[in-house]
Homo-oligomer: A and B are copies of this chain.
Amino acid sequence: MSEHWLQIPEWSWNHPEENQPTYVHQWVQQLKKLKTAPEMILYGAPISRSSISVSGASLYPSEFRRAWKGFATYNLDENVDLVQFKVADAGDVAMHTTDILLSHQRIQETTAYLAKHYPKTITCMIGGDHSTTACAVRGIKEAYLNETIGILQLDTHLDVRDPKELGPANGTPIRQLIDGKIVEGQHVINIGLHGYFNARPLIDYANEHNIGMVTLKQARKEGLINTIKGALEKLSAKVDRIYVTVDMDVLDISVAPGVPASTPGGMTSIELFDSLLEIGKHPAVRHVDFVCLDPSKDSAVAETVKTGVYAWLQFVTGCISQTK
């Protein structure tokens, strides 16, 4: 029973009895205590020992929840109060100290459990490194065997390195899913690629499998939001549900000190925020994850973690207009 693996973080619910929440930690509720399905479930997948280079992304779920206390529930730009939308925190998937495969299996099982038991609920996984995406998508496939899953990926990298060589490391999730017949290459679109960060063999693999590649430069030329919309339309015409994976290294290195794999030439935070607002609006988008943010590398004012919370809230704001 995969629910078993969910651990409740000790500090996330300060004032569960609060009648009129005005801050995020007062608004997000504990899944266990809810009697009806929420509109969104959040869960953490705190693993990063599967990362190719040293990473503390396993620390992100708890820092994410700690940082959200600094955010009000009111979105001033859109004049929307998020409290109308029910979000529940399921806690973190319990990771084994050294058994990576077992930890990955638990993420898959937990995601499958949540997807099955809350079919109308949007799931949001907070990683952990990018290896967790392969687990989560497999879990969703397990829950919806007859459905076709598409992936919208915001990422500087293709993440199609060979798991036969590296094992289920954070450079491999998309290839795991394609080689494993969980997702077809033609149902994957990556927006945010740029520069010199994908070796030729990886591009060859992507081309062979018809992965959609949109460079940031192209996207900016056509308008990033138009590009996002176009990608969602293209995917939703072909698949039953869209999984969105946000590798935080899509951000420019100057705004993301807490993502060691981020590079110059990446997205601005405003571009990411606008993208996620748009993504949240699309009804085919049922799952999202945010991965590869290492809080131990972040700046003293936790700039990247705050950007991560903000990005997620933009997605939530988008979802609200989706549900309307």
User: What is A's interface to B at a CB cutoff of 8 Å?
Assistant: 10-11, 14, 20, 22-24, 48-52, 54-56, 58-59, 71-77, 81, 96-100, 165-169, 193-201, 203, 213, 215-217, 252-255, 257, 260, 262-265, 269-270, 273, 296-297, 299-301, 303, 306-307, 310, 313
**Residue from B168, B193, B255, B296 within 8 A of A98 (CB atoms):** B168
Complex: how many Å from CA A199 to CA B20? 11
A-B contact pairs, 13 of them (CB 8 A): A10-B11, A10-B14, A54-B59, A74-B200, A77-B194, A77-B195, A81-B200, A97-B165, A98-B167, A195-B313, A253-B301, A257-B300, A264-B306
Q: Beyond A98-B50, A166-B98, A265-B270, is A71–B196 a contact (Cβ under 8 Å)? A: yes
Q: How many copies does the complex hold?
A: 6
Complex: how many Å from CA A257 to CA B203? 32
Complex: how many Å from CA A260 to CA B59? 15
List residues of chain B with CB within 8 A of the CB of A193: 76
**Residue from B72, B253, B254, B299 within 8 A of A198 (CB atoms):** B72
Complex: how many Å from CA A75 to CA B194? 8
List residues of chain B with CB within 8 A of the CB of A269: 252, 254, 264-265
A303 touches B264 (CB 8 A): yes
